[in-house]
Structure 1
Amino acid sequence: MPSIATRLGWETARSLVVEPGSAGWRRPELTSASGFEIVGDTAVHTGFVIDVVQAQMRDPEGGMHSRDVVRHPGAVSVLPLHDDDTVTLVRQYRVAPDGDLLEIPAGKADVEGEAAVELARRELAEEVGLEAESCERLAGFFLSPGYSNEWHETFLATGLSKVPSAADGAEERHMDVLRLGLDEAIEGIATGRIVDAKTIIALLAAARRG
């Protein structure tokens, strides 16, 4: 029997790392070891940020199935870690859950050819007015693979200094910027104060680095 990694396609995902559109993005080129295949899709909605399609999927026995899929250009986030072991977060309204979330700065890929790390640096400056001497990649992940192809990369920013900020959109104009101790922020994951996935991943990845 093949290993779990082989059956899930992880070995292929690790070996086929591609540069999709924007240089420096490390989205994995996945395959289905069990034989599933998308054979076409039909546009349902074309929006400002996302497109929605009805994908036609063939299963390993040849059966056909329809699945709703959200196509997304990709996004980045960045955890600003100060020299005193505090982190800068934002409290921002999000329309989908209809409430405020405590998050790290983030933004979608909306400039053709922009490297992921450069997008992270730009969002760091625009959202919270910070510039980093170092911006290191922490992790890359699919945020909601059950229905979306959104690929997300998160970064750790250190050596921080102040620069002018430039809020983009109503939510950013009305968000709060705050600093928490790194340990306090990580504790916020356990207590439910922080429930945003990218922020949880970045905080835990940064803590693991020590």
Structure 2
Amino acid sequence: MTDGTLPGAPGRHLADAPEHWEVRATALPFEGKKTGVRTDDVVMPDGSVVRRDYQVHPGSVAVLALDAEDRVLVLSQYRHPVREKLWEIPAGLLDVPGENPLHAAQRELYEEAHVKAEDWRVLTDVYTTPGGSDEAVRIFLARGIGVAEGERFEVSEEEADMELARVPVDDLVRGVLAGELHNNCLVVGVLALTAARGGPGLDALRPAEAPWPARPFEA
């Protein structure tokens, strides 16, 4: 499948596709500050109706910021659901419906690391846990990074205890494959970066304003 086509189906490209199964009933039994839980009664192909509960999420962005010494900007942050401090790349929610994901990524890089970048590309788009959440994340590659102008953003809560570091790409790949690094955006971002380098190259990545059907936005 080196050409991206399905075996036994010449001309059919391997790609996810939109599909909408009938929903007989829906409810939102829990709605929190940023996310909620929805319950849908969904009609299956055999005609049966089953209940599916899932997290509804506004979407997120993450930034793999790569410096001139081939190091990635990472931060350590406590994550209460897993009771661990995880090494991550800068990331954050799309706070406003229809928000431009590039603008959100630039904001997060500034707020969490006080860093700006000259070159932005889309590294990859993922659903974090599509069996239980509709969260979609766009991971950007940011290059030409430097210190941002102005005062540092005032952090609070978990972010007040963050530790920042710049780590060589090879060290992160080793940590991912050794099972020592677990944050999904870091894992996906670092491995996608490595794959892009071994393939068409970083300059062939999609532009920063590439369409994102999972979270449509205005340029």
TM-score under structure 2 length normalisation:
0.79
- Paired AA for residue 69 in structure 2: D
Do the aligned partners of residues 175 and 118 (structure 1) sit closer, same or farther apart at CA in structure 2, a change above 3 Å counting? same
User: How far apart, in 1, do the equivalents of 2:24 and 2:39 lie?
Assistant: 11
Which runs of no fewer than 5 residues in structure 1 stay unpaired? 14-29
User: How far apart, in 1, do the equivalents of 2:153 and 2:103 lie?
Assistant: 16
Do the aligned partners of residues 113 and 66 (structure 1) sit closer, same or farther apart at CA in structure 2, a change above 3 Å counting? closer
- Per the alignment, residue 192 of structure 1 pairs with 179
User: Relative to structure 2, which stretch is displaced further, 114-123 or 70-79?
Assistant: 114-123
CA contact (8 A) 1:12 1:31 kept: no
CA contact (8 A) 1:154 1:202 kept: yes
- Per the alignment, residue 31 of structure 1 pairs with 19
- Per the alignment, residue 170 of structure 2 pairs with 183
> Secondary structure, in 3 states, of the residue corresponding to 1:201?
helix
The total of aligned residue pairs comes to 187
User: How far apart, in 2, do the equivalents of 1:95 and 1:151 lie?
Assistant: 21
Matches within 5 A, 1:1-210: 13=17, 30-31=18-19, 36-163=21-148, 164-210=151-197
User: How far apart, in 1, do the equivalents of 2:73 and 2:154 lie?
Assistant: 16
Percentage identity across paired residues of the two chains: 30
Moved over 4 A (4+): 3-6, 9-12
User: How far apart, in 1, do the equivalents of 2:108 and 2:16 lie?
Assistant: 32
User: How far apart, in 2, do the equivalents of 1:57 and 1:44 lie?
Assistant: 17
User: How far apart, in 1, do the equivalents of 2:141 and 2:8 lie?
Assistant: 29
User: How far apart, in 2, do the equivalents of 1:158 and 1:70 lie?
Assistant: 33
> Secondary structure, in 3 states, of the residue corresponding to 1:96?
helix
User: How far apart, in 2, do the equivalents of 1:5 and 1:127 lie?
Assistant: 48
Do the aligned partners of residues 4 and 96 (structure 1) sit closer, same or farther apart at CA in structure 2, a change above 3 Å counting? farther
Give the RMSD, CA atoms, in angstroms: 2.1
Do the aligned partners of residues 37 and 112 (structure 1) sit closer, same or farther apart at CA in structure 2, a change above 3 Å counting? closer
Which runs of no fewer than 5 residues in structure 2 stay unpaired? 1-5, 198-219
Alpha-carbon deviation of 1:111? 2.8
> Secondary structure, in 3 states, of the residue corresponding to 2:82?
coil
TM-score under structure 1 length normalisation:
0.83
